Structure 1
Amino acid sequence: MKQQPAFEPVRPVRLYERIVDQVETAIASGELVPGQRLPSERELVVQFGTSRATVREALRVLESNGLVRSRPGDPNGPEILPFTSGGLRKQLHRLARTEELTLAQLLVSRMMLDATANRLAAVLRTDAELAGMEAAIDRMRDSVDLGFEAFSEADVAFHEAVAVASGNTMIQVSNAVVRDTVLSLVAGKLAHARNSKTLMRRSLEHHEQVLDAIRAGDGPAAARASTQSLYDYYAGYVSAAERRTLQALLDG
């Protein structure tokens, strides 16, 4: 007998979500571009065939997600905004808070993004970009005795310098979002860990290895060092089962 398909439960969709979906789709397809205006609220009520309250709720969600901007008293419709990482950052934080995106999943993404950024930076970096990385490493070294917050700021500066040197805007944006989300989940534990200085010194050592590899133009070595660094720094904050997923990204 032929196996029946495995159906999934359906959920009711609120009317305002249908409006949001249509506007998001139009933006993604290029039918709506930054600077363009949506129709007025009254016209949207007519076009969507729904109530003013439903349209207003949809516009509120779109504005909260950073897709449109409405000005009080403006007779024109809401303005389509250019893409920024703010909306993506907000969505990832929301996913993390609702436990739809686990720390292990975030760490896998970060390990992959960092490794790619380092490979590209080793080949594409300029002397000025390398100097920026070296300055960030110096700050990390000086910050070990100052505490986790100062060390973390210098750490972020290093990764931002590497991401810029990769020459890929999507890597820059995605890496920043994932990195900030990971830190928001574990910063308190890291800052108050009894061996925090040991962790920082170990992280600094790995970062110095990354810098040496980038300076030498050795992309694979830079990728390996960063992946190992992230594993050593964060693996203790996930379960043993999840740790196997992280280990799969480590080169033997």
Structure 2
Amino acid sequence: MTTPHSFEPAVPVHTYQRIVDQIEQAIISGEIPVGSQLSSERDLMVQFGVSRPTVREALRILQSMGLLESRPGTRGGPVVLAPSSKTLSRSLRALVGTDALDVAALVEYRVVLEGTTSRLAAVRHNEEQLGRMQAAIEQMERDAEANADTFAAADIEFHEAIWEASGNEMLRLTGEAVSGVLRGIIQRDVENEQHDNQLKLESAAIDRRLFEAIAEREASLASQIARRAVADRFGLLIESDVDRQALAALAE
């Protein structure tokens, strides 16, 4: 006796999507190396047996995915790009914008990520990375009461140096992506924050303590400072009492 199974209806796939899937898989597998060029549109039309509009739609989607880039003045097809945090950032922004992913989940992930990267950076950092962190901190302290834009740039540089010093490329990429999305949200929802000098001074002081813990290779302390800082900064984006309690527990 056969067992019934719940299948989903078969959905026709557009021809351009089949082209996207094949090229994407070839890039991911390394069959098409990063930095190389695809064939011209005319050659792709012949290879896939499709029209020019179909090829162009497939290439447009691959470019929107961050896998390809057209470069004016070059002969041949678009260039294959290395994976980057920008692609992930676009996906996360889309998920948040459509309520498929809530802000609380992003903040919780950022708490875990910063705590982990700071812990690893305390163990793995080299002198060049430590120098980048120190320069960024000093820039933040100089600009806390003067220039909001350069202060923000130095703050980003400080955290990027930590992600790099963690020695974990996955954490670095996701750190850049999640950080970018949260910055966009907080700038939209808390527009006056960038003008509050006291908040910038407090942020610089926290990052100074984090830097010192990393420099002294105090991994547990660095992780604790980082988790608490993220929870305090971004917790105001969370509306649910339960989610706020969960964030507090995660930050401990």
TM bucket normalised to smaller: 0.7 to 0.9
Q: CA RMSD in A?
A: 3.1
2 CA distance for matches of 1:195 and 1:174?
A: 28
Q: In structure 2, what is the equivalent of residue 44 of structure 1?
A: 44
Within a 5 Å distance, the mapping from 1:16-165 to structure 2 comes to 16-70=16-70, 76-146=76-146, 148-165=148-165
Q: In structure 2, what is the equivalent of residue 247 of structure 1?
A: 248
2 CA distance for matches of 1:72 and 1:159?
A: 34
Give 1:54 shift.
Answer: 1.4
Q: Per the alignment, do residues 10 and 136 of structure 1 end up closer, same or farther by CA in structure 2, a change over 3 Å counting?
A: farther
> Per-residue CA shift, 1:13-32, capped at 9, x if unaligned?
43322221221112111222
- Structure 2 residue runs without a partner (length 5+): none
1 CA distance for matches of 2:236 and 2:180?
A: 18
1 CA distance for matches of 2:81 and 2:195?
A: 45
> TM-score scaled to structure 1, two decimals?
0.82
177-186 vs 167-176, which moves further: 167-176
Kindly indicate whether residue 234 of structure 2 is the aligned counterpart of residue 234 of structure 1. Answer: yes
State the one-letter code of the partner of 2:123.
V
Aligned length: 250
> Per-residue CA shift, 1:190-238, capped at 9, x if unaligned?
4414993443344333323312211221111101110100000110111
Q: Aligned to 1:249, what secondary structure does the other structure show?
A: helix
2 CA distance for matches of 1:21 and 1:143?
A: 48
> TM-score scaled to structure 2, two decimals?
0.82
Within a 5 Å distance, the mapping from 1:193-208 to structure 2 comes to 193=193, 196-208=196-208
1 CA distance for matches of 2:72 and 2:195?
A: 52
Kindly indicate whether residue 14 of structure 2 is the aligned counterpart of residue 14 of structure 1. Answer: yes
- Structure 1 residue runs without a partner (length 5+): none
Q: Is the 8 A contact 2:122 2:222 kept in 1?
A: yes
State the one-letter code of the partner of 1:58.
A
Q: Is the 8 A contact 1:190 1:196 kept in 2?
A: no
Give 1:120 shift.
Answer: 1.4
